[in-house]
Structures are given as C-alpha cells and as structure tokens.
C-alpha cells in the first residue's frame, strides 16, 4: 500500500516542503520541490539518509578545553550515535591546525573527522 512521507528539503535555504509517495521502499513520485535538486534530495533521504555530524573533542593544553570538529562528509543517519561515541574517545594535544584530521576513517565509513578551527597551545 502506498504511503506519503513529508519532509523539508535542506538542499538550499528555500526549504521546500516535499511530499514523497512511496510503496515497498520505492519512490513513486515527489511533489513540492521547486527544482531537480529536490528530487535528488527526496531519493537520497528515502534510500540512504545522511547527516553531517558536528561536535567537540577534549584537547589538552589548549587555549580552550574543547575543540569543535565535524565530519568531512555526511554520515549514514543510523550510524550517528556510534560515530559520536567514537569521536568522544578522542583526546588531542594542542596546538591543532584547522581542517587537520582528528579521527581518520571513522568506523570504516571512509569519512574523516576534521578540526573546525585551529587551537593554539596556551601559554
């Protein structure tokens, strides 16, 4: 039986409200999109939803005690709790340069976790 799924397209700031008609995991049609990117977004969101992950890690001897970090690409949505748990295990030593890899290939996803900013050592 066909079902409707509603969500907001986040592929651009316009934020169109998409309605996706689905049956047995197949997309039958998409409405509400103002451009083709919305179709691609709807297909990706219903087959392999992904999100960027941004959080902080501990850093010793840094100007601040925490360093903001982010995944270089979106990770599969169901893996987000495990990805956050892996990132929580990281503890760095200042100084750290912006965009340096703080965790490589997190959970075998092929996605690195990068420093969002540089962090000088204190003193």
14 binds ligand SF4 (CB under 6 A): yes
- Region near ligand SF4 per CB under 6 A, out of 9-17, 55-63, 72-80, 90-98: 9-17
Place of tokens 């030593």: 93
Q: Does 71 help bind ligand SF4 (rule: CB under 6 A)?
A: no
Among 3, 4, 12, 93, binds ligand SF4 (CB under 6 A): 12
Q: How far is the C-alpha of 123 from the C-alpha of 121, rounded, in Å?
A: 7
Q: What share of the chain is helix, strand, coil (3-state, %, to 5)?
A: 20, 40, 40
Cβ neighbours, 10 Å, residue 89: 9
Residues that bind ligand SF4 (CB under 6 A): 9, 11-12, 14-16, 33-35, 37-38, 41
């Amino acid at each position: 039986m066909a079902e409707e799924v509603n969500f907001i397209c986040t592929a651009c700031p316009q934020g169109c409200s998409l309605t996706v008609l689905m049956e047995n995991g197949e997309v039958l049609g998409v409405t509400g999109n103002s451009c083709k990117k919305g179709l691609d977004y709807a297909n990706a969101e219903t087959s392999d939803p992904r999100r960027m992950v941004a959080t902080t890690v501990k850093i010793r001897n840094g100007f601040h005690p925490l360093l903001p970090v982010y995944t270089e690409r979106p990770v599969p949505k169901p893996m987000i709790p495990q990805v956050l748990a892996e990132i929580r295990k990281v503890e760095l030593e200042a100084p750290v340069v912006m965009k340096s890899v703080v965790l490589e290939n997190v959970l075998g996803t092929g996605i690195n976790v990068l420093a969002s900013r540089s962090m000088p050592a204190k003193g």
